[in-house]
Amino acid sequence: CAAGKGTFGTGELINRIRVTKLERLTTHRKLLLPQLAAPGVAAHLVKEATGFNIKYGPVYARDLPEYFHNDGRVKPGMRRVHFPLRDRLALIPMELIPALKYLPFILVWLILVQILRDHQISFKIVTELIPYFAAILCGSALFQILLPWLPFRSFIVNGWLLAMVLMITAGMIFAVDWYAFLPLLLILPPVTAYLAVNFTGSSTFTSLSGVKKELSWGIP
């Protein structure tokens, strides 16, 4: 995530080397970085600025003992990135918990709408909140689970499509009033798409240039 968006980048690395006075702490001039730091670091610029040579180690920290045992030689398997369901499930709390902070604002908005519409507050507000919670859950949990099987490369398109399919399916199952349901079909898929595109920072499926391109047409 940090390398992809540039915060684990050339400038920050040079700054940290200088701030910590790393050259005084070691006699060699070799700096080992994780392989996934490569998108954000220009090794030749780091060497010019600090004198440290950059070398990229294996993807996973668990391979470091074998990497050092082999005198810094990386086996082909150490370069391969895996992103199985277990890893995606582990990231769901990181995506879901921040997304839930929007619910209180949505609740306040629904209460105001209900007061203006019905001149009272009723338990109906809970049922009106459920679709919004479902959209957040869809973009922050279900999207992550289904990621490898979603049809398009774009996270925005996949998030929007996933929300539309689930909402239409739910509408058919529960026989909703489609006239009243239409505003939700216009509001909630963009919510899910927005949360889905946030996952680009945690996913190994994306690159910085790809995310910038997607946001340039997706946000409008």
Q: Are residues 143 and 67 in the same domain?
A: no
Phi, psi torsion values for 123, nearest 5 degrees: -65, -15
Q: Are residues 13 and 105 in the same domain?
A: no
Q: Are residues 46 and 94 in the same domain?
A: no
Of 32, 26, 45, 13, give the one whose Cα is nearest residue 73. 32
Q: Containing H/E element for 172? A: helix 155-173
Q: Are residues 208 and 133 in the same domain?
A: yes
Grade residue 113 by pLDDT with cuts at 50, 70 and 90: confident
Q: What is the pLDDT of residues 52-78, one digit of tens each?
A: 999 988 888 888 998 888 888 888 888
Q: Are residues 126 and 29 in the same domain?
A: no
Last residue of a domain, one of 43, 59, 79: 79
Of 61, 56, 52, give the one whose Cα is nearest residue 73. 56
Select, from the ranges 31-40, 41-50, 67-76, 194-203, the one with the highest average predicted confidence (pLDDT). Answer: 41-50
Range of the domain at 138: 85-218
List all residues 6 or more positions away from 7 whose beta carbon is below 8 Å from its beta carbon. Answer: 40
Grade residue 135 by pLDDT with cuts at 50, 70 and 90: very high
Last residue of a domain, one of 50, 79, 108: 79
Nearest-Å Rg of the Cα atoms of the chain is 23
Last residue of a domain, one of 61, 79, 97: 79
Q: What is the pLDDT of residues 161-202, one digit of tens each?
A: 999 998 888 878 876 777 777 888 888 898 899 898 888 766
